[in-house]
């Protein structure tokens, strides 16, 4: 009888574990402090905004707060999305557009659509496959994966998962110059095609959700573990302390001297800074306010894009991020001067909800959504979008 009870209890325990995995989509690991999603399936997307609400249910509170949160009152983060409503797209008819061509290229790389993945830290907070899972989905979608210095997979693991698909490496300059040289050379050897030098984070923004949650990284960030000594159990500001925080044009030149790859300067929010970055040797600039995670009270990225594009005057390509959620946003950004746009948070939410196949689902949605907008606006290809004039609802755009 005793043995029967033991066996029955064991069976019930196994059934409970299976039920928890199925219903909550998280691995049940004895002693585990953090349990990310294990989903691996296509997801149905009706609206990209839905992904945040759905991901909030399955990503642990601290991790979700880190991924979603912006600086202080999050006004700038919210403006990143609402600013797109300041301009309209003229519907066009009798244009003969039925099957628009979404393909384009950036820095010599052909991609299936003008949307790439922005660098974002610690995808492992959302899914156990981490950046390797994202890379598989991005490769299948035919676009570029930007890999954060603070990724939770190694550069080698991400490159292997991408199986030769285009990837860029984002660098936060370390105070240790030998480390900078070493990791750049590692990225080159692994086949990364560009270096993204992030210059808008000499210090971490005041991210109140992390403070309220007392968030500490529950996993290692292996690509910076050596320079930061330890990353697991540390807050982002502690990890940032290993980064160089006195950046000048000379640092762009220094990185250029370390690599033969194109160097993209990310975090440009003022036309004068675009001039300086190009003068220092930037092969492309990336207009971004870090997704509203740095300086609250700053303008949205979209608000400054037209004036920056006017100053750049096609000298180098422009990549744009912050607030892209739908096809009309992609269209408006390109019509305002961007060559391609990048998305961050939605990719991580899609990863949490479906693993690599969730990422594929997101890009399938964006392809269909952008194609629909192009048909209704009479744009056959990406070059056509660049020639289109948007209709301003207010005067921020009319002077550019």
Confidence of residue 8 (pLDDT cuts 50, 70, 90): low
Residue 22 has a pLDDT of: 40
Contact of 211 with 186, CB cutoff 8 Å:
no
Instruction: Kindly state whether residues 159 and 284 are assigned to the same domain.
Output: yes
Residue 3 inside a domain? The answer is: yes
User: For residue range 117-169, what is the model confidence (pLDDT) as tens digits?
Assistant: 999 999 999 999 999 999 999 999 999 999 999 999 999 999 999 999 999 99
Residue 73 inside a domain? The answer is: yes
Active-site residue flag, 23: no
Instruction: Kindly state whether residues 21 and 90 are assigned to the same domain.
Output: no
Instruction: Kindly state whether residues 83 and 226 are assigned to the same domain.
Output: yes
Residue 177 inside a domain? The answer is: yes
Split into its structural domains, the chain has a count of 2
Confidence of residue 238 (pLDDT cuts 50, 70, 90): confident
Task: Could you list the beta-strand ranges (E) of the chain.
Answer: 87-88, 104-106, 109-111, 115-117, 145-147, 167-171, 195-198, 263-268, 284-287, 318-321, 340-343, 391-392
Residue 203 has a pLDDT of: 81
Asked whether residue 98 carries a pLDDT value surpassing 90, the answer given is: yes
User: For residue range 37-95, what is the model confidence (pLDDT) as tens digits?
Assistant: 999 999 999 999 999 999 999 999 999 999 999 888 889 999 999 999 999 999 999 99
**Dihedral pair phi/psi, residue 328, rounded to 5°:** -65, -30
Residue 183 has a pLDDT of: 96
Instruction: Kindly state whether residues 26 and 67 are assigned to the same domain.
Output: no
CATH of the domain at 191: 3.20.20.70
Instruction: Kindly state whether residues 11 and 81 are assigned to the same domain.
Output: no
Instruction: Kindly state whether residues 97 and 241 are assigned to the same domain.
Output: yes
More confident call, 222 vs 308: 308
Residue 13 has a pLDDT of: 53
Contact of 197 with 173, CB cutoff 8 Å:
yes
List, in sequence order, every residue forming a beta bridge with 392; answer none if it has no partner. Answer: 87
Residue 25 has a pLDDT of: 43
Instruction: Kindly state whether residues 21 and 75 are assigned to the same domain.
Output: no
Instruction: Kindly state whether residues 24 and 170 are assigned to the same domain.
Output: no
Residue 231 has a pLDDT of: 77
Catalytic residue among 123, 127, 290, 329: 290
Residue 2 has a pLDDT of: 54
Residue 94 inside a domain? The answer is: yes
Number of CB atoms found within 10 A of residue 396's CB: 18
110-138: buried (b, 16+ CB within 10 Å) or exposed (e) per residue?
ebebbbbbbbbbbbbbbbbbbbbbbbbbb
List, in sequence order, every residue forming a beta bridge with 343; answer none if it has no partner. Answer: 117
What is each CA distance from 217 to 45, 111, 120, 133, 156, in whole angstroms?
29, 33, 14, 19, 21
User: For residue range 310-348, what is the model confidence (pLDDT) as tens digits?
Assistant: 999 999 999 999 999 999 999 999 999 999 999 999 999
User: For residue range 285-299, what is the model confidence (pLDDT) as tens digits?
Assistant: 999 999 888 899 999
Instruction: Kindly state whether residues 81 and 25 are assigned to the same domain.
Output: no
226-255: buried (b, 16+ CB within 10 Å) or exposed (e) per residue?
ebbeebeebbbebbbebbeeebebebbebb
Residue 284 has a pLDDT of: 98
Polymer length of the chain: 400
Q: Give Rg (Cα) of the chain.
A: 22
Confidence of residue 103 (pLDDT cuts 50, 70, 90): very high
Residue 111 CA from chain centroid, whole number: 16
Residue 340: closest CA among 385, 303, 390: 385
Residue 173 inside a domain? The answer is: yes
User: For residue range 253-276, what is the model confidence (pLDDT) as tens digits?
Assistant: 999 999 999 999 999 999 999 999
Instruction: Kindly state whether residues 209 and 300 are assigned to the same domain.
Output: yes
Range of the domain at 211: 49-392
Tell me what percent of the residues of the chain surpass a pLDDT of 70.
Answer: 88
Confidence of residue 20 (pLDDT cuts 50, 70, 90): very low
Residue 18 has a pLDDT of: 43
Instruction: Kindly state whether residues 75 and 173 are assigned to the same domain.
Output: yes
Structure tokens at 186: 């590692």
Residue 96 inside a domain? The answer is: yes
Residue 229 inside a domain? The answer is: yes
Instruction: Kindly state whether residues 226 and 118 are assigned to the same domain.
Output: yes
Mean pLDDT of 223-240: 70
Residue 396 has a pLDDT of: 53
Number of CB atoms found within 10 A of residue 383's CB: 11
User: For residue range 381-398, what is the model confidence (pLDDT) as tens digits?
Assistant: 999 999 999 999 865 555
Confidence of residue 185 (pLDDT cuts 50, 70, 90): very high
Confidence of residue 15 (pLDDT cuts 50, 70, 90): low
Residue 400 inside a domain? The answer is: no
Confidence of residue 28 (pLDDT cuts 50, 70, 90): very low
């Amino acid at each position: 009888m005793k043995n029967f009870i033991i066996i029955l209890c064991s069976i019930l325990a196994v059934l409970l574990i299976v039920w928890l995995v199925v219903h909550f989509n998280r691995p049940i690991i004895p002693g585990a402090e953090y349990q990310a999603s294990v989903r691996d399936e296509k997801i149905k997307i009706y609206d990209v905004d839905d992904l945040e609400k759905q991901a909030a249910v399955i990503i642990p509170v601290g991790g979700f707060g880190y991924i979603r949160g912006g600086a202080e009152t999050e006004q700038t983060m919210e403006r990143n999305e609402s600013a797109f409503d300041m301009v309209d797209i003229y519907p066009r008819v009798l244009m003969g557009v039925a099957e628009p061509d979404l393909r384009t290229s950036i820095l010599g790389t052909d991609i299936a659509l003008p949307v790439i993945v922005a660098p974002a830290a610690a995808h492992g907070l959302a899914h156990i496959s981490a950046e390797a899972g994202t890379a598989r989905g991005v490769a299948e979608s035919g676009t570029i994966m930007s890999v954060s210095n603070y990724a939770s997979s190694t550069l080698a693991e991400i490159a292997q998962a991408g199986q030769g698909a285009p990837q860029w490496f984002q660098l936060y300059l370390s105070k240790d110059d030998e480390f900078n040289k070493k990791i750049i050379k590692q990225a080159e050897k692994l086949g990364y095609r560009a270096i993204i030098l992030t210059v808008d984070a000499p210090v971490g923004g005041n991210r109140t959700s992390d403070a309220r949650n007392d968030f500490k990284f529950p996993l290692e960030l292996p690509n910076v573990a050596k320079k930061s000594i330890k990353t697991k159990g540390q807050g982002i500001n502690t990890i940032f302390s290993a980064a160089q925080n006195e950046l000048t044009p000379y640092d762009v030149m220094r990185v250029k001297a370390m690599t033969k790859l194109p160097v993209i300067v990310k975090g440009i929010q003022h036309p004068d800074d675009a001039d300086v970055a190009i003068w220092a040797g930037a092969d492309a600039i990336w207009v971004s306010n870090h997704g509203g995670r740095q300086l609250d009270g700053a303008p949205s990225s979209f608000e400054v894009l037209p004036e920056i594009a006017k100053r750049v005057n096609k000298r180098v390509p422009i990549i744009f991020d912050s607030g892209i959620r739908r096809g009309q946003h992609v269209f408006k950004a390109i019509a305002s001067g961007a060559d391609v746009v990048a998305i961050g948070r939605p990719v991580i939410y899609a990863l949490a909800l479906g693993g690599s196949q969730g990422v594929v689902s997101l890009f399938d949605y964006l392809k269909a959504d952008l194609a629909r907008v192009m048909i209704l606006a009479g744009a056959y290809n990406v070059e056509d979008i660049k020639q289109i004039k948007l209709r301003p609802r207010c005067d921020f755009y009319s002077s550019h």
